[in-house]
């Protein structure tokens, strides 16, 4: 039962006789910060949830940036070559570039070049059973045994230039369930007609996405037969010497790449040789996509900064009188400021942790077709940015705290 | 007995539109340990400004203020803040407790600020709350207590660190008469028992019943000091104002 009686009998205790002993509890700033958070769990959980949602968005954008980037560059990045050679007028665009066998022969003659492989790109789809949407894949034509052909982890590499066989990458294998020895049907078009081709799977390569699609590799001649093509090509007869896109060049000494690329550019006409990084950065849409996603990430962080800053500033302004009382009774401005910073760090860190857990939980449940990929460096830089925006946003409220006058406690603030 | 609080010709003046306004004008007062003083006067008479000067929250234009023998305005800001937490206890009007701390935590805060929250300190805080009839309310937040109970917690907070001076600014402003009487009586009793120097600003003359001295202010000046028990008794009944 609650008593409401004041006892007038006083039992004075002399504090002077007491000796200081072990201090109980946390230091004042931490004590105040954590007590306020604990006793206002609902309000602070709300702002932590907002931080968590911003974290979710930032990490998803980082994951998408990496996933889409990888989807565009994976094949080129993992080429067993050091240089990619384009037609000079193609402006480093693989679909636009056209090269001839004669050029490949010339490239093989350049000092320092070990091997050259012609690589041709196109797109086909793989019909899937059970009424599922067909799987769109990059169809990559390579010369067996030459640069451009992927390493295989199961089965064997391509052997013949014209055999109806294919090496599929791990992405195709996991999404179709196909394995070495199975027949793979690809759907292509000839003019306006649909054409189906059966290919025997002889090997499985590591994931080698190109143009945000998993890849299947076929011998160059087979590629020329399977790829979608207009009727006019057949009617007019195609020139077998001009139908691949780029050449992959492997060097005797990989560290000679800058020097050899200069020699190639000087000795072989109408081509341009670049390293792998320049090659994938010039994949159509790659740079625009990466910079757009990067910008989205920056804007999301800015929004987070404003939201957190706004919340803590409003909250601090509502507490000015209370802060005045704390200062009047002898709490230093530094203690009040440290308490606020502690609070911001706690709320922000909890929000980021919650957001990270939500992100990884959600990502685990996403279909494999969603190009999202979390890599250590991108996740760490995103989390670090999110941890920094909390205290940064809170700086505005610290200014209010420091300016709060203890005179407010007496209603006398200037 | 040495005074716990002494002021010498304390003045606070402001310039406003070319005019000098004396909010507090040459005030000299002394308060001994165990003495409870009421500072009364009409609105704008300078009593709250004087309280702010005594608390070290407002710098006087002239004059000196000594608390427990220490000249308040010869200290640095940091020293004065520390000094306030050690030597002065505050009771403000309403809503002066930290809303997210329980009654006991609010009281303990003063000990924590002074690095004195040890086991005996906690026991003392609990004992004070017990004496104030709040034994069952120690874990309650301010929002879970009545105005009178909150002010009693504020009294415990003002006394727990054994300050030299207790300053109360209209401590009964938000209370009904019954509660107001109880709060002031308790404050007076504890100030007397613990030998603190207490100064209470009030505009309610009835609250002077439990004080030892009444200082009446008008236009920033001390207009009258009443020390006789009989006069104070009469004053508290509102017969002389």
pLDDT at residue A237 in the model: 52
Q: Which residues of B touch A332 (CB under 8 A)?
A: 78, 81-82
Give the model's confidence band at A14: pLDDT under 50 very low, under 70 low, under 90 confident, else very high.
Answer: very low
Query: CA of A39: how far to CAs of A44, A227, B77, B102, in Å?
Result: 9, 67, 32, 10
Chain A CB contacts of B108 under 8 Å are 25
B105: containing domain: 31-46+74-236
Q: What is the CATH number of the domain that holds B203?
A: 3.40.50.300
Looking at CA atoms only, how far is residue A14 from chain B in angstroms?
Answer: 8
Mark yes or no for CB contact A12/B118 under 8 Å. no
Give B131-153 pLDDT, tens digit per residue: 888 999 999 999 999 988 998 99
Cβ distance of B124 and A13 shorter than 8 Å? yes
- A340 pLDDT above the threshold of 70: yes
Q: Which residues of A touch B125 (CB under 8 A)?
A: none
pLDDT band for position A108 (cuts 50, 70, 90): very high
The rounded percent of chain A whose pLDDT value lies above 70 is 91
Residue B62 lies inside a defined structural domain of this protein: no
Residues in chain A: 414
pLDDT in tens, A29-38: 999 999 999 9
Question: Would you tell me how many other CB atoms lie within 10 Å of the CB of residue A43?
Answer: 14
- Distance in Å, alpha carbon of A389 to nearest chain B alpha carbon: 26
CA distance A402 to chain B (A): 14
- Cβ-based contacts under 8 A for chains A and B: 143
Is residue B69 domain-resident? no
Contact B119 A22 (CB under 8 A): yes
**Interatomic CA distance for residues B142 and B52, integer angstroms:** 25
Q: How far is A345 from chain B (nearest CA, A)?
A: 19
Q: Least CA distance to B88: which residue of chain A? A: A329
Max Cα-Cα span within chain A? 115
Cα separation of A64 and A79, whole Å? 23
A352 and A46 Cβ atoms separated by less than 8 Å: no
Q: Say if residues A172 and A127 touch (Cβ distance below 8 Å).
A: no
Q: Is residue A132 scored above 90 in pLDDT?
A: no
Q: Could you give the CA distance from residue A128 to residue A126 in angstroms, rounded to a whole number? A: 6
In a domain, B98, yes or no: yes
pLDDT at position A232 is 60
More confident residue, A87 or A232: A87
A226: pLDDT strictly greater than 50: yes
Instruction: With a cut of 80, say whether residue A15 has pLDDT above it.
Output: no
pLDDT exceeding 70 applies to what percent of chain B?
Answer: 97
Cβ of A25 within 8 Å of Cβ of B117? The answer is: yes
> What percent of chain A has pLDDT above 90?
56
Residue of chain A minimizing CA distance to B59: A407
Share of chain B above pLDDT 90, in %: 71
> Looking at beta carbons, which residues of chain A come within 8 Å of B115?
20, 23
Query: What DSSP string runs through A269-312?
Result: TTEEEEEHHHHHHTSTTHHHHHHHHHHHHHHHHHHHHHHHHHHH
Mean pLDDT by runs of 10 across the 241 residues of chain B is 90 90 94 95 91 93 94 92 93 85 95 91 93 92 92 92 94 84 90 94 89 94 92 76 45
**Which residues fall within 8 angstroms of residue B5, CB to CB, at 6 or more apart?**
B29, B30, B31, B54, B65, B66, B67, B164, B165, B197, B199
What does the domain layout of chain A look like in residue ranges?
26-70+288-410, 74-282
The complex's ipTM works out to 0.90
d(C-alpha A167, C-alpha A205), whole Å = 7
- Check if the beta carbon of residue A272 is closer than 8 Å to that of residue A135: no
To the nearest whole angstrom, how far is the Cα of B217 from the nearest Cα of chain A? 18
Q: Which residues of A touch B194 (CB under 8 A)?
A: 10, 12
Within 8 A of B157 by CB-CB distance, chain A residues are 329
pLDDT at A164 over 50: yes
Residue in A20, A39, A40 nearest the CB of B116: A20
Test A330 with B186 for CB contact under 8 angstroms: no
pLDDT (0 to 100) of residue A182: 94
The structural domain count of chain B equals: 1
- What is the least distance, in Å, from the CA of B194 to any CA of chain A? 6
Positive or negative, the Cα torsion across B13, B15, B20, B23?
negative
Asked whether the beta carbons of residue B122 and residue A24 sit closer than 8 angstroms, the reply is yes
Chain B residue closest to A325 (CA)?
Answer: B96
User: pLDDT at residue A5 above 80?
Assistant: no
Note whether residue B55 is domain-resident.
no
Q: If you measure CA to CA, which chain A residue comes closest to B160?
A: A15
Give the span between the Cα atoms of A405 and A407, in whole angstroms.
5
- Mind listing the pLDDT tens digit for each residue in B103-119? 999 999 999 999 889 89
Residue B21 lies in a domain: no
CA distance A318 to A325: 13
């Amino acid at each position: 039962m609650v008593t409401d009686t004041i006892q007038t009998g006083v039992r004075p205790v002399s504090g002077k006789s007491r000796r200081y002993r072990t201090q109980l509890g946390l230091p004042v700033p931490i004590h105040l910060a954590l007590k306020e958070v604990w006793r206002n769990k609902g309000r602070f959980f709300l702002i932590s949830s907002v931080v968590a949602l911003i974290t979710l968005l930032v990490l998803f954008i980082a994951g998408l940036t990496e996933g889409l980037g990888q989807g565009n560059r994976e094949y080129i990045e993992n080429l067993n070559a050091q240089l990619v050679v384009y037609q000079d007028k193609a402006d480093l665009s693989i679909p636009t570039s056209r090269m001839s066998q004669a050029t490949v022969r010339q490239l093989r003659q350049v000092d320092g070049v070990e091997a050259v492989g012609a690589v041709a790109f196109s797109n086909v789809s793989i019909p899937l059973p059970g009424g599922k949407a067909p799987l769109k894949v990059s169809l990559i034509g390579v010369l067996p045994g030459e640069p451009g052909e992927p390493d295989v982890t199961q089965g064997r590499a391509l052997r013949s230039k014209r055999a109806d066989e294919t090496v599929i990458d791990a992405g195709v294998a996991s999404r179709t369930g196909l394995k070495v020895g199975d027949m793979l049907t690809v759907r292509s078009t000839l003019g306006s007609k649909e054409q189906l081709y059966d290919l025997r799977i002889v090997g499985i390569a590591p994931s080698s996405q190109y143009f945000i699609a998993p890849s299947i590799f076929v011998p160059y001649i087979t590629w020329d037969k399977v790829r979608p093509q207009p009727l006019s090509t057949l009617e007019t007869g195609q020139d077998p010497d001009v139908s691949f896109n780029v050449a992959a060049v492997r060097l005797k000494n990989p560290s000679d790449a800058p020097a050899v690329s200069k020699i190639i550019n000087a000795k072989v006409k109408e081509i341009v040789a670049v390293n792998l990084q320049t090659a994938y950065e010039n994949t159509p849409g790659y740079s625009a996509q990466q910079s757009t996603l990067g910008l989205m990430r920056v804007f999301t962080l800015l929004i987070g900064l404003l939201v957190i800053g706004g919340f803590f500033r409003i909250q601090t302004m509502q507490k000015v009188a209370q802060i005045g009382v704390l200062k009047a009774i002898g709490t230093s401005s530094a203690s009040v400021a440290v308490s606020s910073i502690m609070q911001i760090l706690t709320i922000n860190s909890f929000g980021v942790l919650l957001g990270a857990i939500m992100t990884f939980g959600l990502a685990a449940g996403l279909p494999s077709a969603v190009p999202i990929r979390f890599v250590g460096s991108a996740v760490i830089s995103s989390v670090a940015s999110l941890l920094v925006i909390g205290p940064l946003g809170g700086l505005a409220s610290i200014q209010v705290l420091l300016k709060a006058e203890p005179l407010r406690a007496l209603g006398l603030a200037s | 007995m040495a005074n716990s609080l002494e002021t010498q010709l304390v003045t606070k003046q402001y310039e406003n539109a070319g005019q000098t306004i004396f909010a507090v004008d040459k005030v000299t007062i002394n308060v001994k340990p165990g003495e409870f003083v009421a500072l009364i006067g009409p609105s704008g008479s300078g009593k709250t400004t004087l309280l702010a000067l005594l608390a070290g929250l407002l710098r006087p234009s002239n004059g000196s203020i000594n608390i427990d023998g220490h000249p308040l305005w010869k200290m640095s800001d940091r020293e004065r803040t520390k000094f306030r937490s050690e030597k002065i206890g505050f009771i403000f009007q309403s809503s002066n407790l930290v809303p997210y701390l329980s009654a006991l935590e609010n009281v303990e805060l003063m000990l924590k600020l002074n690095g004195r929250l040890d086991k005996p300190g906690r026991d003392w805080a609990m004992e004070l709350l017990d004496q104030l009839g709040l034994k069952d309310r120690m874990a309650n937040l301010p929002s879970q207590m009545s105005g009178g109970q909150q002010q009693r917690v504020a009294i415990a907070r003002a006394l727990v660190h054994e300050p030299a001076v207790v300053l109360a600014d209209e401590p009964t402003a938000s209370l009904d008469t019954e509660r107001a009487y109880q709060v002031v009586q308790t404050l007076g009793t504890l100030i007397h028992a613990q030998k603190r120097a207490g100064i209470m600003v009030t505009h309610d003359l009835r609250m002077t019943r439990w004080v030892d001295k009444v200082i009446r202010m008008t236009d920033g000046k001390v207009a009258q000091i009443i020390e006789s028990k009989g006069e104070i008794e009469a004053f508290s009944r509102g017969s002389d104002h």
